Each structure stands twice: as C-alpha cells, then as structure tokens.
Amino acid sequence: MREVLQDKFKNFSQALRKLEKAIKEEGYELSLDGTIKRFEFTFEMSWKALKKFLLYEGFDCKTVRECIKTAFQTGFIKNEDLWLDMLDSRNKSSHIYDEEEAKKIYEKIKNFYVEEFKKLEEVLKKRLSGGEK
C-alpha cells in the first residue's frame, strides 16, 4: 500500500510542478487555457492522492466532496471552503465557454489554488515520511 501512496504523491507533485510552470508562461490566451487544463489535472491528482492516503488511514470516501470533507476533518487540509471552491471551479472549467469566467478561474488558480496544492503536498510528504498525523 505504501508504494501506491508514493505513486499517488508523485503523480500529484508532477502535476503541481506543471501547473506552476503554466502560470509563468508567456502569452495570456495560451497561458489561460493551458493553466486551466493543468489545474483540472492537478485537482484530479490531488483528490485521488487524498483518497488513497485517507483509505490508508481507515477512511473510505467515495466522492470528491466526501474526500474533501474527510480530509478537512482529519487534518490533511485546513481550508475546506477553498477546496470546495476548487471543486466548483474544476466542475465549471470543464464546460467554460465564457472568457470572463475562464479569467476568474485563472486568477483563483494563480492567487489561491496553487498555494493550497503546495500545502497539501507538504502534508502528504510529511505523512509519507512517517511524520505528522
């Protein structure tokens, strides 16, 4: 099971690095589209990693929302509202046709979501190394 946790952590970390890179890209329109796509992917990797880590600790969540709530209750994440907002943005981004809505999500990614992913990354890294519970 530990190997599965390490794989999920690695996939999430790699997705996060690519998301950080997308934010720094030149060319706003391409950056906007690419960043949103990478956000979607990073979000998927983050909640799937959370799901495995929670399962390892005895919590079996079935849905993204349930995993977010359980992660908050167990201390994996500190800002449940922001994670639920990230879920909402991920759901909206799959069907975005309005450039203004895309820009709003992009700004949230850049100003809030990446930092929240980094916080999760640190928590998962500590838990993998046998630290914080």
CB atoms within 10 A of CB 131: 9
Tokens found for residue 80: 């449940």
pLDDT over 90 at 1, yes or no = no
- Rounded to whole angstroms, the Cα distance separating 41 from 103 reads 18
DSSP string, 68-129: HHHHHHTTS-S-HHHHHHHHHHHHHHTT---HHHHHHHHHHIIIIIHHHHHHHHHHHHHHHT
Q: How confident is the model over 62-73, as a mean pLDDT?
A: 98
Contact between 54 and 70 (Cβ < 8 Å): yes
pTM for the complete prediction?
Answer: 0.90
Q: How confident is the model over 71-80, as a mean pLDDT?
A: 98
Q: How confident is the model over 103-123, as a mean pLDDT?
A: 97
pLDDT tens by residue, 17-45: 999 998 887 677 777 888 999 999 999 99
- Domain spanning 2-128, CATH class: mainly alpha
What letter represents residue 61's amino acid?
C
- Domain residue extents for the chain: 2-128
CB atoms within 10 A of CB 91: 12
| Burial grade of 12 (CB within 10 A; 0-12, 13-18, 19 or more) | buried
